[in-house]
Chain A
Amino acid sequence: MPKGDVLERILTGRPVVPGSAKGIALVSKEPISFWGGISPRTGEIIDRRHELSGAIVTGRVFVFPHGKGSSTASAVLLESVKAGVAPAAIINLKVDPILALGSIVSDELYHQSVPIVVLEEKFFFSINDGDFLTIEPDGTVRIHTKPSTK
């Protein structure tokens, strides 16, 4: 936890692909297609119709409801791990098997996965963009919010 941050809440989720991670939340309320939506070379969101177009997912805890579109999403996630531009972890509202697959294959091939947690609605929508999150293998998500500067 960064110095000066205050532990705010502990959320219990389902570890779809279990693992530990920490990072700053990148939050979208919109689903996204990884293929055609995120560059596996740079980690940039390249779906120009998406509200986060231009943002970089690398090292962030990427929070979005679920994936959509192309079944090539798993390949984009695997390649982004190999290229070192993957998100630190993913938090979804519902299980997305294609994203889980990308993370599991990455684990089998490179012994490195992207942890994925599914949270129920009230927890999911309580995460704000910029929150610092830690994720534990049992699906626990800890939200740390920066102290108010007011």
Chain B
Amino acid sequence: MAVKLSKSDKQMLGCQQGKATRTAIRILMRMAEVTGATEMMDVSQGHIDGCGLLSDAGLEFAETLAANGGKVSIPTTLNMGPLDLQNWKQFGVGEEFAAKAIRQAKAYVDMGCIPTWTCAPYQGYLTPRFGQQIAWGESNAICYANSVLGARTNRYGDYIDICAAITGRVPKCGLHLKQNRKGQILLRLLDIAPSVMRDNAFYAILGHLIGSLARGKIPVIEGLPPDPTSDQLKALCAAAASSGSVALFHAIGVTPEANTLEEAFHGEDPEQVIGIRLPDLLKSMSDLSTAGEGVALDLVILGCPHFSFDEFRQLTVLIRAETEQGKSLHPDVKFVVTSSQTSYALLQRSDFLDVLTDFGVEITLDTCVFHTPMVSPETKVIMTNSGKCAYYAPGELGAAVAFGNMADCVRSAVEGYVCRKEMFWKES
């Protein structure tokens, strides 16, 4: 092997630390060869995505590692799993699926992972710090950790994530190294009205566009307002990581490695400069929808990535505005919000929860509609405020999708059909 091994790497390969550790380091070594890394390095935190998808092979992999004595050696959080562990029966999930999902959850928790079960780990527990070397899975979380927090991770796919957490080692390459975090293409926001940039949907739409423009390069955005919220950046990351492979972007004056253009590009010139104007955003917005205005709506999905407490607050305000006018959820529409136990614990301490549940909002925790079989096959039209959900719903859920902002989602759920009144951005 061309990869230089440390003393501890050799011990792990030699089976002195158990069979699971040996499997884990073997996979990491082979991946080092794939990526051309010549040595390994330490990481100090992990986030596991491999616990999310329930498949027989994934379950077998996790149970094999756990049975062979696998234990994580660094603090490691878990992405959402395939099941709402407490309330799965309410969502019509079958017993056989649930039994396997519970086995998979147990395998990862037995290996010492923290049962956070969320795809927005950066809004909950153990948020990584600037410059921290970490091994994270889940595309939106990878993008957020690198771009917004300035922590350093490559895109760790399912299974290498737990290998890194067990060994605390990864191939030394890619975004772990400062020289590879240099911005490559400059995306200039031109003549976009502040009112457009205040709309939360702007961030998902921009993310979707950036993903399609990046083509494997590290994009640098110029012209974002200086104070986007964590939820707005979450939406941007999720959409950009879905439509492209964006694992890192910089935004001048917003993200920590891009205080100036010079810093973002490490003093060099951009390889390419692309202007983004309102018509580009409008095109990106229409690209996110496969269902048009006025189509009968079956399901609203919010919380992709997982809803934060603040998003629950915004939703409550919007729903109150409807119920105060005597409006209610249309009987043919299901309204689902996916979130984490962490956000839900805060929600229970507020007076929002009653407003939401009285309206008919169903809150599911620990999982999402893509990973647990809770969306019935009769569901034909879905509406969401998430660029990621809009991107994947047609393929994964076999339904048409309408993208709109949160206010439009609520209004449409009341009316029973897709109506986007709020999000009509005018060219000014």
Contact = CB atoms under 8 A, between A and B. Distances in A.
A74 B157 contact: yes
B139 A71 contact: yes
B268 interface: no
Interface in A39-84: 40, 46-49, 66-76, 78-79, 81-82
- The winner among A67, A100, A110 for most chain B CB atoms within 10 A is A100
Contacts of A102: 157-159
Contacts of A11: none
B160 interface: yes
Given A37-B395, A104-B27, A72 B49 contact: yes
- The winner among B31, B34, B53 for most chain A CB atoms within 10 A is B34
Contacts, number: 121
Interface in A8-25: 16-17
B55 to A, nearest CB: 4
Contact of B159 (A46, A70, A75): A75
- The winner among A68, A71, A76, A78 for most chain B CB atoms within 10 A is A71
Interface of chain B: mostly helix, strand, loop or mixed: helix
Interface string B183-221: 000000000000000000000000000000000100000
Interface residues of B, number: 42
B27 A71 contact: no
A1 interface: no
Contacts of B34: 16-17, 95, 97, 100-101, 104
B427 to A, nearest CB: 26
A36 B395 contact: yes
A109 B49 CA distance: 19
Contacts of B30: 104
Contacts of B35: 95, 97
A37 B138 CA distance: 16
B168 interface: no
A48 B290 contact: yes
Interface in B149-175: 154-160
- The winner among A73, A82, A94, A105 for most chain B CB atoms within 10 A is A105
Nearest to B158: A75
Interface stretch (B2-10, B107-115, B237-245, B376-384): B237-245
A79 B56 contact: yes
Given A36-B392, A66-B216, A98 B157 contact: yes
Contact of B49 (A49, A71, A78): A71
21 contacts: A17-B34, A36-B391, A36-B395, A48-B394, A48-B395, A49-B394, A71-B49, A71-B156, A72-B49, A74-B158, A74-B159, A75-B157, A75-B159, A79-B55, A97-B34, A100-B34, A101-B27, A102-B159, A105-B27, A109-B60, A110-B57
Interface of B: 23, 26-27, 30-31, 34-35, 49-50, 52-53, 55-58, 60-61, 64, 137-139, 142, 154-160, 216, 241-245, 290, 370, 391-392, 394-396
